[in-house]
Chains A and B, each alone.
Chain A
């Protein structure tokens, strides 16, 4: 099969690494060759962060280049807008509609663009924008946005709920397991 590509983007500290760890575990279990590329260090401090998840029969590059992403899973809507050039024709963006102002906006040096979901759709990208933060809070913690988004993403995969649950159990600490499962279910049914 042709290599599939998902970019996970967000703001440092939002939990994007857990999402990629979970996906990697799931895809490896399905027998694919998998590569997951992360960014550590400086950019984790509230900066723009990108993780690449790739799978197929044989995956070479650890990164996704422009025009190659089947899907962008975005934890924040400005971050989705930053990476549109990476989306394939006919590709998809699943995005938490939450707005987190970057420092240039906070400092008044730049403006946060409006109506981003509509603008992304106008580029011909399939956009699924929803309030993942509220669902995460409903599940019990604003930190569970990652599992809400995973739940939403699962609708585009053919994996069973059991397979997802196994990957979740393996990837999150036991004391947060129920909360994370609930967040996943809320994302799945939203």
Chain B
């Protein structure tokens, strides 16, 4: 049946049709929907793992047990899973194992713009790169064949434009996969030096065999053009930009497998054109490969290694004309994302700013506490870095920093990799105060369950990690719980814990305001008679409050009645 599918949904469909039985992932934009979609198929066991390393190791375990397995993550998640990745290259698989990784060129929702293709080359694991949903579905099925044929995990590299674009796919039926028998094989699965030394040449031989496969496969295909003055090598969404900009004008070598790359096929293609150009986003990965083949090639001299490309860019840089529309001759104010009305994080950041603390931040919606008017966050690096960073900050900063700095981290991020930092705080005894912003969901990626919520990916009730007990268990004696809507108490508790002289955790607990089960009191009103226009309520950056003719006005379509602004009004004008 023909249907429209997101690239991510199409990967999920391909996994399903190929008989995938086991999926373990950690959410991350733009990869999240692969796992959410595959979880809807009853035949597939799917779960959210605490982090990407756990997910990949679980998927390897399932592969060894003999079932086709899968694991998805965003580009930065692959950093977390890099440890198992590099050694899975040596162990190979039993049943097929696919790792989906989604890059975010343009950083729509990420903290860096790393190019995951380097991981394929560095770990010596083959990587397929679909350019639309139909290929995403096809490549997912093909990846299992490759995985079992060449005894290797296979990476499928997505990007925002492929993951989050819907295009037409033709779906098929599921082919049940007969579970493979697990056989003990220490030489293959125990990677201690003596065994690993024997496996490494196998890995190199596999890359050579895959290179031969890359020469033959039709997913690396040449599309003939009318004008051989220029030939373009491209892949992924850039292939679509090239075809949109130039149609059948120039010959194109479209690579569906990005690692290992063919050698002869590229040389043969280069020989048929006057000028060779690589069109690729981020780093000059294909371009570098062409250079190692001794070819003269253009690429990053034309196209930036920063941000996304587009059809206009491809047109313009290759000598075409582009006509843009008219622009308004005035400043259009930016519309950055903001914390939602009623967000339980807002008031905590207000208090932190009021106390003028150094705040080490983390990855999640609450990173928005960094922007004006709250402006309360000092650092954001990666998952968990707030807690571990705070330890170093107060150890090195001494008494002055101890009472003046905190870490803030969400519930899901804390489980992902904050807890190890907290163990370090307890073990190495830093006088640190960690605030866990427990909104009972993984918010930023669109409401995924996690080990603290009491529900699993399929929506069934399950074991719920008790954050208080966990913190106590790792050696933190002082654990306090506050309601972030009660700002007076929050301020008091934060001050007490900063003064305490030993490590402490404050759990700021209130569910995300967007969760369907959360009942709100409803919008409040502002009283223009009482409002003095002092703008105290504007300091929390709530999108539901604005100043109109010098008076605070509440947008009733946004306000949920959280009551935080009421606590700031000295004139009783809000309520």
Contact = CB atoms under 8 A, between A and B. Distances in A.
A110 interface: yes
13 contacts: A36-B167, A41-B108, A41-B109, A41-B445, A62-B165, A69-B325, A86-B324, A86-B325, A104-B334, A106-B545, A110-B334, A111-B333, A113-B328
A35 B167 contact: yes
Given A38-B165, A107-B541, A67 B335 contact: no
A156 interface: no
B320 to A, nearest CB: 12
A149 interface: no
B547 interface: yes
Interface string B304-329: 00000011100000000011111110
B323 A45 contact: no
B311 A61 contact: yes
B328 A66 contact: no
A174 interface: no
B337 interface: yes
Contacts of A62: 132, 161-162, 165, 167, 237, 240
B332 interface: yes
Interface in B361-393: 365, 368, 371-373
Interface in B509-548: 538, 541, 543, 545-547
A178 interface: no
Contacts of A40: 29-30, 32-33, 108-109, 164, 446
Interface string A131-156: 00000000000100000000000000
Nearest to B3: A28
Interface of B: 2-4, 6, 29-30, 32-33, 108-109, 132, 161-162, 164-168, 237, 240-241, 243-244, 310-312, 322-328, 330-340, 365, 368, 371-373, 444-446, 538, 541, 543, 545-547, 557
Contacts of A60: 240-241, 243-244, 311
Contacts of B368: 45
B326 A124 contact: yes
Contacts of B333: 78, 102, 104-105, 110-113
Contact of A103 (B132, B161, B328, B338): B338
A82 B332 contact: yes
Contact of B328 (A43, A81, A91, A107): A81
A18 interface: no
Interface residues of A, number: 61
Given A47-B337, A67-B322, A84 B546 contact: no
Contacts of A106: 538, 541, 543, 545-547
A106 B312 CA distance: 35
A65 B164 contact: no
**Most chain A Cβ neighbours within 10 Å, of B310, B312, B323, B335:** B335
A103 B243 contact: no
Contacts of B108: 39-43
Interface string A69-91: 10000000011011011111101
Nearest to B343: A45
B419 to A, nearest CB: 25
A90 to B, nearest CB: 10
A103 to B, nearest CB: 5
Given A41-B29, A42-B337, A85-B324, A66 B312 contact: yes
Contacts of A44: 337, 446
B543 A37 contact: no
A12 B337 contact: yes
A131 to B, nearest CB: 14
B573 to A, nearest CB: 17
B526 to A, nearest CB: 14
Contacts of B311: 60-61, 63, 65
Contacts of B445: 41
Contacts of A59: 167
B326 A79 contact: no
Contacts of A47: 335-338
Contacts of A25: 4
B29 A42 contact: yes
B244 A103 contact: no
B364 to A, nearest CB: 10
Contacts of A78: 332-333, 335
Contacts of B6: 38
Contacts of B324: 66-67, 85-86
B327 A103 contact: no
Interface in A20-70: 24-25, 28, 33-48, 59-63, 65-67, 69
Contacts of B547: 106, 108
Contact of B372 (A24, A61, A89, A103): A103
Given A39-B108, A40-B29, A124-B326, A102 B164 contact: no
A183 interface: no
B323 A67 contact: yes
Contacts of A190: none
B331 A33 contact: no
Contacts of B331: 110, 113
A16 to B, nearest CB: 13
9 closest Cβ contacts across the A-B interface?
A41-B109, A41-B29, A47-B337, A62-B165, A66-B324, A102-B335, A110-B333, A61-B244, A42-B109
Contact of B330 (A35, A65, A113, A142): A113
Contact of B167 (A12, A34, A48, A110): A34
A67 B3 CA distance: 29
A112 B326 CA distance: 20
A46 B513 CA distance: 14
Contact of A84 (B327, B339, B446): B327
